[in-house]
Amino acid sequence: MPFQRASGILLHPTSFPGRFGIGDIGPEAHRFVDFLADTGQQIWQVLPLGPTGHGNSPYMSYSSMAGNHLLISLEPLQERGLLNQEDLDGLPEFPSDHVDYEKVMPVKTQLLRQAAENFREMATPEEQQAFADFCEKRDFWLDEYAFFMALKQANGGKSWVEWAPKIAHRDPEAMEQWRAKLASTIFFEKFLQFEFFQQWSELKQYANERGIQIVGDMPIYVAHDSVDVWGFPTNFMVDEETLEPSLMAGVPPDYFSETGQLWGNPIYNWDELKKSGFRWWLQRLKALLDYVDLIRIDHFRGFQAYWSVEAGETTAMNGEWVEAPGEEFFQTVKEELGSLPILAEDLGVITPEVEELRDKFGFPGMKILQFAFGSDRHNPYLPFNFLPNCLVYTGTHDNDTTVGWFEKTSDYERDRVLTYLGCVSPDGIHWDMIRLALSSVANQAIIPLQDALGLGSDARMNCPGKPDGNWTWRYQSEDLDQNLCDRLRTLTMLYNRAPSHWQ
């Protein structure tokens, strides 16, 4: 880790305020970075940044390497003359407290399409060269991604397994014909990635200059309906005829689910990946490090052993644990990248073998305070059981807010919380849990913005198992007021998590 004791905020860019219906990486994003810097934070953690598919989940993306075009800010496009002020003034009124994806997507996509056409006609030689350089530098994923998205549009949004057999099976002649036919749409998709990267790079540089490092999130598995699987099918356990997953990812039955969780993502063909020296994985990591400073790997335990379920099963009950080449993989990554800016999501039932893999490479694990009070003194999420090399959270994007959790938790857990804390202070349970996180020995403490604002369950980002209505929460500009800044700054300094030059 490039820093020791620090703290930060968990917030996805879709949650920024603004008048265009969805948070973006424009002025409000820069204002949020100012808020982080002014309160002594050194970390901004986001969710996956890829283009979202069904359910708008950032964990079900059409690409593991591309950026979500809905995060592109429209104002810079207007300032460069790619959009007119009238274009922005004539938009419908969007809700300010949540994202209405069905309303936002067609409006914003049309404006971005208009900007792309204007760029094609108006770009200066310098801009044309910058675009060409961007495309050339990222040709290992960009060409296939733009083609995939163009094909998806031409097929009415259908999954790639439902396309005409020749293009689904990547017949060379069919591919060449469709590339020529869809040239205009392919250009549009590349333009979106160019604009996303330009704006995100500017934001990341601004954050880094203000002492903020960005923690990105990388799901271990990719969506079946993605360019990753269509473009590189031999990397995955996919049936050569049906193109459906032959082995699916998930987790076995446990305390929370009698039938386990069947995610449906195709399992990796680790033997094939090893033959190539893990080339696809290395490209994926390098692509993500273009966007972020540190990577949180979701479901880290899958690098030691993963739960594999055969095609045809409707639950995860009849799976088996299969060992993964995690040590060989991370050693290869270390040799290629020179360092391992990786954080391990090691929640759930973790075996000694998983802990050994995590600790061999020095990856910090995660601690969630909402999990700390459901058992006895040996609970690993109780702060006195922490080791310094970890990240502590009051909760994550998958948890209820702290206020919502405390209202709904069992009497047993609530009593244990009160006994541990002594009382609920006048500031509220959310600030009590924030103090507990900041005061712990964990090197890094991450607070969801909803907890800093003391919001209830209606501000929850995601409810696992709930198919609709997730990923929509947004805050208001006035929420980042002086009172919040003063309180967060005071606690950050008190618990020695502010930058060293503040001391």
The catalytic residues are 298, 345, 398
Could you give the strand order of the β-sheet that contains 261-266, starting from the edge strand earlier in sequence?
A: 261-266, 247-251, 305-310, 320-323
What does DSSP assign to residue 500?
Answer: G
Q: Give the contacts of 149 (CB within 8 A, at least 6 positions apart).
A: 51, 62, 185, 189, 227
Of the candidates 280, 288, 300, the one whose C-alpha atom is nearest the C-alpha of residue 215 is: 288
Please give the C-alpha separations between residue 270 and each of 225, 258, 276, in angstroms, as whole numbers: 20, 29, 10
Give the C-alpha separation, 42 to 213, whole Å. Answer: 6
Helix (H, G, I), strand (E, B) or coil at 277: coil
Give the C-alpha separation, 191 to 401, whole Å. Answer: 37
Give the CA angle between residues 466, 472, 478 to the nearest 5°: 140
Q: Is the Cβ–Cβ distance between 259 and 316 less than 8 Å?
A: yes
Give the C-alpha separation, 271 to 190, whole Å. Answer: 32
Q: Is the Cβ–Cβ distance between 364 and 342 less than 8 Å?
A: no
Give the C-alpha separation, 67 to 194, whole Å. Answer: 9
Could you give the strand order of the β-sheet that contains 444-448, starting from the edge strand earlier in sequence?
A: 342-344, 294-298, 213-219, 43-45, 6-10, 444-448, 390-393, 365-368
Question: Measured in Å, how far apart are the chain's first and last C-alpha atoms?
Answer: 21
CA 88 to chain CA centroid, Å, is 28
